[in-house]
Structure 1
C-alpha cells in the first residue's frame, strides 16, 4: 500500500514539471487513447465476420469482400493517424518536462551547500543528474505512450472478448493476465535493489572518470596510465558482474512470461476448435478468438516490458527529486530584514569561530576578533591550514560561523546573496572561466550592460590587453572549458580585469597574482592600489609570496585559527616570529 502511495506521489511530482498547456494536452491524449483502443478491436471482429461470410457463400465473389477490406484499411489508417498526433503531443510534453527538470536541477545544485560537493564527487553528481533526467523523460513517455495505451487496449479487448466469445474461451483468454502479472510483480520486487546498485556503481565510475581527466597531466608525468586503467578495469568488472546477475534473472523471468503465454495460447486454440467441431461457434469465431488473444497478449507483453522499465525509471526519477530537493545553502535563505548595501565598508569581527560541518571537532577559526577600517589595505599571511582562506569563505558567506561579523555596521547574516555580490568581489587563486568569449569572461558577474571600450580599459589595467589582441579574434576569442587554452597567468589577469569593471567596496585577493611574473604583478598591484585610493576600497589580500604584501597598511599573521602577529611588512620581517620564518623560507 505504501509502495503504491510512493509511486503516486512520484507521478504527481513529475506531473508538476509540466506547464498548464501540456497538462491540457493530456486530455486530448486520453481521448485519443480511448478512440484508438476501440478501433484496435474492429480488425479481429471484421476478419471473423469476413471468414464466416466467405464460408457461408456457395460461390465466392471477390467483390463481395471489398467492403470488409476497405473497412479494415480505413480503420487501421485512421488509427495510425491519431497515434501520430498522440505521439507528437507526448514527445513535446516530454521534451518540455526534461527542459524544466534540467533547469530545476541546475538551480538546485548551484544553490546547494558547499558541504554537499565535498561529500560527493563531481563526476558522480554529473552522472546521476544525466541518468535521472533520462529517467524523468522516459517516465513521461512510458506512462502516456506505452502504459496508458496498453491498459486502454487491454480493457477494450476484454470487453470485446466477453461480448463476442463464449464464456469458457473468454475466461481462458483473460486468465493469462493474472498469471503473467504475478510473474512481473515478482520480477520487479527482486530486481529493484540490483537496479539501485547498478545506478550507484555507474555514478561512482563517472566520478572516477572525471577525477582521472582532471589529473591527466600528473598521470602522464608519473606514467601511471596502466595503474589507473587497472583500477578502472576493476570497477568495470564489478559493474559487469552485477549487470550479468541482473540479465540472468531477467532472462529467467522473460522465459516464464513466454511459457505462460504459450500455454494459454494452446489452450485457447484447442478450446475454440473443440467448440467449433461441436457447432457451438463458427470457424470465423475461432479466428476472432485467436486475434483477440493476440490483441490481449500484445499489450500484456508490452505491459511486462513497461512495468519493468517503469520500475527502473522510478528509481531514476526518485534520484532526480533527491537532487532537486537538496536543502538550499544558508546564504540563499530569506534574511530577517531588508538591508540596503551600506556605504561604509568597515569590517568588524568579534568572537568568530568556525569548523567544517563534516569535522566539527577540528577548529579552523578560534574566537577570532578583528577590526578593519574603511578603505584599509590588509594583508593576510600564515602557514598552510592556518585559517586564511576559511576566513574569506566566512566573510563571503560561503560558510557559516558562530560569533559576530558586521560589514558597514550591518550583520553579515542580514545580507542577501545579491547584496553581497554588489558589495564584495573576489579574485581566487584558481579563477573561474566559462566556455565563452574573452569579452564575456571579463564581464562575468556584472549586472549592467558593459561596452567593449570599458572591457578594453579593464583589460589594460589588468595588463592583459596586449595578450588578448594577439589571440585570434581578440576579445571574441572563444575560451575553452576552464580556460584550458590560456596560460595560468592569462586566466588570473582576466579574473583581475573583472574587478576593475565592478569597482567593489570590498575586494578580496586570494593568491590572485601567484601565477604572474614580477613585472606583471607590480603593474597590476599599482593599478589595484590606485583603485583603492580613488574609490576607498577595502582590500584583503592573501599571499604566500610575501613581497605582494609590501604596500599593505597592515599585515595579519595567522596560525591555528588565530592572529598571532600584525604590523607592517618591514616591521614583521625584523620581528622574530612566523612571518620572519616564512620570509627566510624556514616555514611555509
Structure 2
C-alpha cells in the first residue's frame, strides 16, 4: 500500500470516528460489553486447570461442586457482555448511517445543476443505497468483531504468558508475518471494493435508463441492444465480485495455516516443559480459543475494506461544493424588472461561448418570448435568472439588485416555473398542486388553482378526486393532465416572475385553447419569460427576442418583426409553410 493510500485510509478512519461522538455513551457501553466478553473467554480457559488437576486427577468433590456454578456464572456474564456489545454497537452504527443518509440527501438537494448535468442518477442512487449499506455492515458487525475479538485475543495472550512466556513468544513471533500478509491483502481488497462500487453504479445507471425509456425501447425495438449493454456491466460486476471472493477464499486459509504451524510448534515444545495436566489443558484451551478469534478477524478483512472504500465514496460525494449562496440581501416583493447587462456564459472556462454580450431590459409585467433555432441559447439565458447557472461575465439585475447579492431562497421565491418536461411527485394531485405553496396553501387555494388551470375537469372525474395518487412522475395521468397540474402549481405560487418553457407543448388543441386562456389571465401584471418553439403561441407577446448562436439578433413585437423581414420572419415562414 502506498503512502498516499495509507494516508487516505487513516483520514477515512478519523472522519468516521467523528460521527461516533454524539453517541459516545452507547459506544462506551459497547466497549464495556466487549471487555466483559473477552474476560469470560479467558476465565473459561483458566477454569480448566482446577477442573483437570483437582476435579479429575485428585477427585476433589468440593471442586466438582463449585466449578459448574462458576461455568454458569461465566456464561451469564458472557450473555450480558455479548448483548451490550452487539446492541449498543448496532445502535451506534445505524445512528451513524441515518446521519450519513440525511447528509447525503441534503447534499442532493443543494448540489448545483451543473453536477446533475454530468452525473448519472443511477450512480447517485447506488451511493445512497449500496455504498451506505456497505458502510453500515463495516460499522456494526465488523467493528464489533474487530474490537471484541482483539480484546479477547489480548486477554488470552496475557493468560498464555502467565503459563509459559517462552511458548507464547513463538505465537507472537509470527505476528510480523501475519501483519505483512494482512496489509497486502487489505490493499487488494480496497482496490477491488472501489471497482465493485463503480460496477454497481453502472448496473444501477443502465437499469434506471431502461426503466425510464421503456416505451422508446419497445417502439424502436431496442431490447436486444439494451440486453447486450446490461450484460456487459452485469458480467463486469460479476467478475469484480469473483475476484474479491477468490482473494477472500485464499487469504483466510493461508493466514490460518501459518497460525496452525505456530500452534503445532508450541504443542511440540510444551511436552518438554514441566506443566501439570490442568495447566496444559488451560493453555491448550486458550490457544484454541485464540485461534478461533484470530480466524474470525481474518474473515472480516474483506468486509472492512469494502466499508472503507464505501466510506471514501460517500465522503467524496459529501465534499462536492454545493450551490454557491453568497447573497445576503432579501427582496420583499419583486416588481419584476429584469436586466441582462453585458452578459456572457460558458459551461466550461475553456469551452465555446454559449451566450455572448447579452443586453436586455424587461419591464415589470411584460410578456417576453424567446425564439430561435435549437441551440440558440434560449433555455440557457432563462436558466441564468434563477441561478441554475452563473454567468461567466456581466450581471443580471432583478429590480435593480444583482441576483448574486440575493439569497438563493429569496431569489427563487419570486419565480414560478412551468416546463415542457413536467415533474410530478409520487403523491396525490392535491400535494402536487400544493407544492407551489407548501407552507400556507389551503384546500380552497388548491381548488381555485386547479380551476384556473382547467384541471378540475379531469380531477372531478377521478374516483378519489384530489386525493388520487399520480404515480411516479405522474405516469398514471396523460401528458395534458400532467401539464395542467404543473400550471396549477405555478398559479398557486403567485410569483411576480413566471417562466414558461413551452408550457402548452403537451396539450391537445382543445386543452391548449383553455390553458392558453388561463395562462393569459395568469400573466396579467406579471413578468413572464416564455421559451417558445411554436411561434403561434407567442404572437401576442409584448416583446419577442430572437436568438441565434448565443446572441440577440432581433427584438420587437410580432408585427414589427414580420415587417422587418429578418430572422423572425424567416422562422415564421418556415413553421407555417410546414404547417
TM-score by length of 2: 0.94
Question: Which deviates the most, 514-523 or 449-458?
Answer: 514-523
**Rounded Cα–Cα distance in structure 1 between residues aligned with 2:345 and 2:323:** 16
Give the deviation of 1:5 after TM superposition.
4.8
The yes-or-no answer on 1:396 pairing with 2:386 is: yes
Aligned equivalent of 1:251: 249
Work out whether residues 114 and 389 of structure 2, in 8 Å CA contact, stay in contact via their aligned partners in 1. Answer: no
Give the deviation of 1:299 after TM superposition.
2.1
Give the deviation of 1:581 after TM superposition.
3.0
The structure 2 residue matched to 1:322, chosen from 316, 319, 330, is: 316
**Rounded Cα–Cα distance in structure 1 between residues aligned with 2:123 and 2:232:** 17
In the TM superposition, 1:30-69 aligns within 5 A as 30-57=31-58, 64-69=63-68
Aligned equivalent of 1:16: 18
The structure 2 residue matched to 1:480, chosen from 452, 467, 471, is: 471
The yes-or-no answer on 1:539 pairing with 2:497 is: no
Q: Deviations over 1:457-513 (max 9, x none)?
A: 100111111211222311111121111111111111111001221111100100111
In the TM superposition, 1:375-454 aligns within 5 A as 375-401=365-391, 402-454=393-445
Q: Residues 2, 245 of structure 1: CA spacing in aligned structure 2 closer, same or farther, 3 A cutoff?
A: closer
Aligned equivalent of 1:140: 139
Aligned equivalent of 2:505: 514
**Rounded Cα–Cα distance in structure 2 between residues aligned with 1:452 and 1:342:** 25
Work out whether residues 109 and 323 of structure 1, in 8 Å CA contact, stay in contact via their aligned partners in 2. Answer: no
Q: Tell me the secondary structure at the aligned position of residue 551 of structure 1.
A: coil
Aligned equivalent of 2:75: 76
Q: Residues 539, 19 of structure 1: CA spacing in aligned structure 2 closer, same or farther, 3 A cutoff?
A: farther
**Rounded Cα–Cα distance in structure 1 between residues aligned with 2:142 and 2:289:** 19
Give the deviation of 1:423 after TM superposition.
0.7
Q: Tell me the secondary structure at the aligned position of residue 38 of structure 1.
A: helix
Give the deviation of 1:151 after TM superposition.
1.5
**Rounded Cα–Cα distance in structure 2 between residues aligned with 1:100 and 1:297:** 37
Aligned equivalent of 2:101: 102
Q: Tell me the secondary structure at the aligned position of residue 554 of structure 2.
A: strand
**Rounded Cα–Cα distance in structure 1 between residues aligned with 2:372 and 2:31:** 68
Number of aligned positions between the proteins: 574
In the TM superposition, 1:306-321 aligns within 5 A as 306-321=300-315
Aligned equivalent of 1:549: 538
Question: Which deviates the most, 379-388 or 464-473?
Answer: 464-473
Aligned equivalent of 1:155: 154
Work out whether residues 470 and 477 of structure 2, in 8 Å CA contact, stay in contact via their aligned partners in 1. Answer: yes
Q: Residues 532, 244 of structure 1: CA spacing in aligned structure 2 closer, same or farther, 3 A cutoff?
A: closer
**Rounded Cα–Cα distance in structure 1 between residues aligned with 2:459 and 2:439:** 23
The structure 2 residue matched to 1:290, chosen from 238, 261, 284, is: 284
Aligned equivalent of 1:118: 117
The structure 1 residue matched to 2:352, chosen from 353, 362, 374, is: 362
**Rounded Cα–Cα distance in structure 2 between residues aligned with 1:419 and 1:447:** 15
Q: Residues 174, 288 of structure 1: CA spacing in aligned structure 2 closer, same or farther, 3 A cutoff?
A: farther
Work out whether residues 173 and 293 of structure 1, in 8 Å CA contact, stay in contact via their aligned partners in 2. Answer: no
**Rounded Cα–Cα distance in structure 1 between residues aligned with 2:248 and 2:85:** 31
TM-score by length of 1: 0.92
Q: Residues 394, 96 of structure 1: CA spacing in aligned structure 2 closer, same or farther, 3 A cutoff?
A: same
Question: Which deviates the most, 210-219 or 240-249?
Answer: 240-249
Work out whether residues 326 and 404 of structure 2, in 8 Å CA contact, stay in contact via their aligned partners in 1. Answer: no
Aligned equivalent of 1:525: 516
Work out whether residues 342 and 408 of structure 1, in 8 Å CA contact, stay in contact via their aligned partners in 2. Answer: no
Where does the alignment leave 5 or more consecutive residues of structure 1 unmatched?
none
Q: Residues 568, 338 of structure 1: CA spacing in aligned structure 2 closer, same or farther, 3 A cutoff?
A: closer
Q: Residues 274, 567 of structure 1: CA spacing in aligned structure 2 closer, same or farther, 3 A cutoff?
A: same
Q: Tell me the secondary structure at the aligned position of residue 93 of structure 1.
A: helix
Aligned equivalent of 2:480: 489
Work out whether residues 272 and 289 of structure 1, in 8 Å CA contact, stay in contact via their aligned partners in 2. Answer: no
Give the deviation of 1:429 after TM superposition.
1.0
Q: Deviations over 1:181-223 (max 9, x none)?
A: 3321221123332322222222222212212222111111121
Q: Tell me the secondary structure at the aligned position of residue 585 of structure 1.
A: helix
Q: Tell me the secondary structure at the aligned position of residue 356 of structure 1.
A: coil
Work out whether residues 153 and 299 of structure 1, in 8 Å CA contact, stay in contact via their aligned partners in 2. Answer: yes
Superposition CA RMSD, Å? 2.2
Work out whether residues 190 and 308 of structure 2, in 8 Å CA contact, stay in contact via their aligned partners in 1. Answer: no
**Rounded Cα–Cα distance in structure 2 between residues aligned with 1:286 and 1:110:** 64
Question: Which deviates the most, 305-314 or 381-390?
Answer: 305-314
Q: Tell me the secondary structure at the aligned position of residue 351 of structure 2.
A: coil
Aligned equivalent of 2:567: 578
Aligned equivalent of 2:551: 562
Aligned equivalent of 2:326: 334
Q: Residues 386, 441 of structure 1: CA spacing in aligned structure 2 closer, same or farther, 3 A cutoff?
A: same
Q: Tell me the secondary structure at the aligned position of residue 243 of structure 1.
A: helix
**Rounded Cα–Cα distance in structure 2 between residues aligned with 1:263 and 1:11:** 33
**Rounded Cα–Cα distance in structure 2 between residues aligned with 1:231 and 1:4:** 36
Aligned equivalent of 1:182: 180
Work out whether residues 14 and 136 of structure 1, in 8 Å CA contact, stay in contact via their aligned partners in 2. Answer: no
Give the deviation of 1:289 after TM superposition.
1.5
Q: Tell me the secondary structure at the aligned position of residue 470 of structure 1.
A: coil
Where does the alignment leave 5 or more consecutive residues of structure 2 unmatched?
none
Q: Tell me the secondary structure at the aligned position of residue 231 of structure 2.
A: helix
